[in-house]
Amino acid sequence: MCGSLAGWNKTFSNGRVFVTFTTDSTGTGKVFTTSLLVKLLHVNFVQGFVLQLTEQLHDCSSDRLVLNEGDPPKILTSPEFPKMSPNSLDCVWMISAPGGHRIKFTVDPTTFDLQDSSLRELCADDYLEIRDGPSKLSPLFGRYCRSEPPSTIYSTGSYLHIRYQTDSFAQSSGWNATYEIASCGGSIVIPVNGSSVLRSPHYPEPYPSQAECDWTVMAPRGHYVNAT
């Protein structure tokens, strides 16, 4: 079968069904992901059962996000935030700023929620990945999951590469973030048994005149912040 499955119904009489769903690249350059919604409409141990299969398209918004000089902070969220994220997402965004400008990317630490039950490696199920550049091969800032969001990210150049992935059993509300041309300030999340560094703008070079910077520093629950 192919094409749209919306509204398609079929009765299976042998009591067992295997569903395989395969997609390829459309070549349009638009980032999206699909899944099948399977709904049990009727079951009878003699006659069998009826499944309703509906194709669902989860739009990951535009894959290219452009910042221009003078733009206010813009918002980027996981699909359907603050509702539960759809399963089997693989969303990619590339954020760009004018040449000579850096990008400031701040995830709201109070709403960040990505499940991860893998015992093999951290952040293997649902994760947010941020890279310092325009592509999946750019240097990795980090891969983030559970309730451990990144501190504010500052690109070293004019691009950031953002990837959001969920597995087939996603049970997370996702995340929301702002992105803007960098000045200073942001949030700093201190990891468990770790530390973070706060620097004035352009350190160790002279800081700019008329700068006004605000940072929010968060420690893990049950811990306190010690500044030295």
Nearest to 201 by CA among 109, 106, 104, 108: 104
Which residues make Cβ contacts (< 8 Å) with residue 215, sequence separation at least 6? Answer: 185, 186, 187, 188, 198
Asked whether residue 126 falls in the same domain as residue 141, the answer is yes
Same domain for 101 and 163? yes
Note whether 122 and 156 are same-domain residues.
yes
Residues of the chain below pLDDT 70: 1-59, 61-62, 118-121, 170
Q: Check: CB of residue 61 under 8 Å from CB of residue 93.
A: yes
**Tokens linked to 65:** 């996000």
In a domain, 3, yes or no: no
> Same structural domain for residues 42 and 154?
no
Residue 110 belongs to some domain of the structure = yes
In the prediction, which pLDDT does 116 show?
77
CA dihedral 216, 190, 101, 28 (to 10 degrees): -110
The reply to whether 71 and 180 lie within a common domain is yes
**16: domain range?**
8-58
Residues 100 and 181 in one domain: yes
Cα separation, 82 vs 84, whole angstroms = 7
**Same domain, yes or no: 127 and 150:** yes
pLDDT at 201: 74
- Is residue 197 assigned to a domain? no
Cα–Cα dist 142/69, whole Å: 27
Q: Would you state the structure tokens that stand for residue 198, as one six-digit string?
A: 């706060």
Query: Cα–Cα distance between 193 and 204 in angstroms, integer?
Result: 27
pLDDT tens per residue, range 173-183: 899 999 999 87
With respect to residue 87, please indicate whether it lies within any of the assigned structural domains. yes
CATH no. for residue 130? 2.60.120.290
Residues 71 and 46 in one domain: no
Tell me the CB-side half-sphere exposure of residue 210, using CA atoms within 13 A.
0
Supply the pLDDT for residue 198. Answer: 80
Predicted local confidence at residue 25, as pLDDT: 46
Total count of domains within the chain: 2
- Based on the fold, state whether residues 29 and 132 are members of the same structural domain: no
Cα separation, 186 vs 116, whole angstroms: 26
